[in-house]
Amino acid sequence: MLLSVENLEVKYGNIQALHGISFDVREGEIVTLIGANGAGKTTSLYSIARLAPPEAPKVVGGDIRFMGESILDTAPSDVVKNLKLALVPEGRHIFGNLTVMENLELATYSRDKDADLDKDYQRIFDLFPRLAERRKQRSESLSGGEQQMLAVGRALMTGCRALMLDEPSMGLAPVLKYELFRTLKKLNKEGMTLLLVEQNAKLALDIAHRGYVLDTGTIAASGTSEELAGNPEVRKAYLGG
């Protein structure tokens, strides 16, 4: 098991956001967490990324294990550096005052100085040719879709083996959404493990192997994508009938 979340309970101040949820991700899988706003999807990702307060919640119960080891005491930068688990946050959070290339370069901060970075840059530019065209541009001048590509490309440049994505389709035009999800599928085929949080459940279940439905901080349903897509309650609540 690459990642397992066990009976995780977290709080923001006095407000409990997760009430003992469990889920796991195996190497090479695409797993999706779906659910309404406020269900605890982002909270789950922030907890795994070990982000510090005030953004992130405090774990009050349960455990998060990466390859069997608890990571509750791991610093957020070490989750990226040592566990090679990267997060593409909701809202992209690209560094708008840096160029596209600088954003990508910054993501290599914790990697070995002699790592073969050129190959990795080339891989990003193959996946997202638009970024190659705009590599010298200040990234705040990119369109929303290009910013999302940069956010994904930047996360990949950390040298991660597993990628968490928080609402990657948000704010994208339909054609860009499909393009992005095709790219994610392709990444997965090349061996990248994905943990995908999406409000657009249909899009997520289309590419995911398995999924979990979150509802107000608990797991309401789980199963393979086909099972979830065929589940009448899931269909009614998240897939528009």
Does 75 bind another protein (CB under 8 A)? Our answer is: yes
Which residue has 């930047």 as its token pair?
154
Does 140 bind another protein (CB under 8 A)? Our answer is: yes
Choice from 6, 24, 102, 206 touching another protein (CB under 8 A):
102
Does 11 bind another protein (CB under 8 A)? Our answer is: no
Choice from 14, 15, 37, 53 touching another protein (CB under 8 A):
53
Does 62 bind another protein (CB under 8 A)? Our answer is: no
Longest CA span, the chain: 53
Choice from 33, 34, 86, 149 touching another protein (CB under 8 A):
86
Does 129 bind another protein (CB under 8 A)? Our answer is: no
- Least separation in angstroms between residue 94's CB and another protein is 7
Cβ atoms within 10 Å, residue 241: 6
- Going by C-beta distance under 8 Å and a sequence separation of 6 or more, which residues neighbour residue 23? 4, 5, 31, 33, 44, 212, 219, 222
With contacts defined by CB under 8 A, how many residues of the chain interact with another protein?
36
Question: Rounded CA gap, 47 and 240, in Å?
Answer: 30
Q: Which of 189, 123, 118 is nearest to 152 (CA)?
A: 123
Does 158 bind another protein (CB under 8 A)? Our answer is: yes
Choice from 109, 186, 230, 236 touching another protein (CB under 8 A):
109
> For residues 191-230, which are near another protein according to CB under 8 A?
none
Does 8 bind another protein (CB under 8 A)? Our answer is: no
Does 93 bind another protein (CB under 8 A)? Our answer is: yes
C-alpha to C-alpha distances, 153 to 83, 100, 107, 128, nearest whole angstrom: 18, 10, 9, 8
Which DSSP symbol is given to 183?
Answer: H
- What does the angle CA 87 – CA 111 – CA 164 come to, to the nearest 5 degrees? 10
- Applying CB under 8 A, the residues found at the interface with another protein are 49, 51-55, 75-78, 80-81, 86-87, 89, 91, 93-98, 102, 105-107, 109-111, 140, 144, 147, 154-155, 158, 171
